[in-house]
Chains A and B, each alone.
Chain A
């Protein structure tokens, strides 16, 4: 039997250990191993190496788990604190935005009700058109913003919950 043929089967033996070989090759290898002593020895030597790799037992510092656990708790606290700070800052921004939107809406309404006649006469405009434009381009947008801001945190929380449910 040629060396090449042995090489081929030895490669198959290695592949079997590394990750497996297709069924037809397994059958051919089994048949070859029944009659080939050098390849049997080769396979036994490989198995011996693999078994030897299991003959190491590394010592682990018994306090390592406790150290890791303590560090994890500390890290978690820090992450939470950072998160809380970010939430507080976000909430402040949200309140300021809501107040600004409300002030804009109020100012628009005041202009519409009290000053539209005066402005219309000064600039020679039709009062009704001016009032319509103030409502369409000032009061409605700022009112929408005022109503939308409180919903943003709810929408964001809903998205996070959906992601977790999908897991």
Chain B
């Protein structure tokens, strides 16, 4: 099955393919979303070492639970929600947790930041001067803020869609974006003043 343009029909096509566990569709989805999934998980975890394993687990979960995607909304929020739940389970050392559980504590947050001696993935990935200036701040920024920023400005999800991914209210998402921007802006302004 190939993917065609048009958000609505695209989502329905994906839902149908997932229900039939169509592996060629899954390969196309992997091709299409792999980089975005990797980037999202790096922003969520703030580290690179766990990401590849989680990406694989995410796609396996997509195959397993594909029939629960109904195609009425975009595929991305559903995919990121799966990846997020797996990331949180991983951080807490719980390998198997049902996605159907409505665990408020789990949905609420990514408070357990990584403690790793590895170099910051943001420093390694910075390709512009401003990105380099932001790399350290991003690493130290609270994961919930980083997540809101990447979903809004890189993935271009709406506040409602981000709310679906994170399980947090829209007002909380809005405030996370606001605070995240605030912190990064002051870092960027401070950095550029320092450079001058």
Contacts and interface: CB of A to CB of B under 8 A. Distances in A.
B133 A52 contact: yes
B189 A45 contact: yes
Contact of B178 (A14, A53, A73, A167): A14
A58 B38 contact: yes
Given A19-B158, A59-B125, A167-B12, A53 B177 contact: no
A12 to B, nearest CB: 11
A72 B26 contact: yes
Nearest to B157: A19
Contact of B31 (A19, A57, A61, A65): A65
Nearest to B192: A48
A53 B153 contact: yes
B174 A18 contact: yes
B128 to A, nearest CB: 3
Contact of B34 (A11, A52, A65): A65
A167 B26 contact: no
Interface in A43-74: 45-46, 48-61, 64-65, 67-69, 71-73
A18 B178 contact: yes
B34 A64 contact: yes
B150 A14 contact: no
Interface residues of B, number: 54
A83 to B, nearest CB: 10
Instruction: Give the interface size bracket for A toward B.
Output: 35 or more
A45 B177 contact: no
A79 interface: yes
A14 B181 contact: yes
Contacts of A14: 177-178, 181
Interface in A118-167: 164, 167
Interface string B133-151: 1110000000000000110
Interface string B161-196: 000000000000110011001001100110000000
Contact of A52 (B48, B59, B131): B131
5 contacts: A49-B134, A55-B127, A55-B131, A58-B42, A167-B16
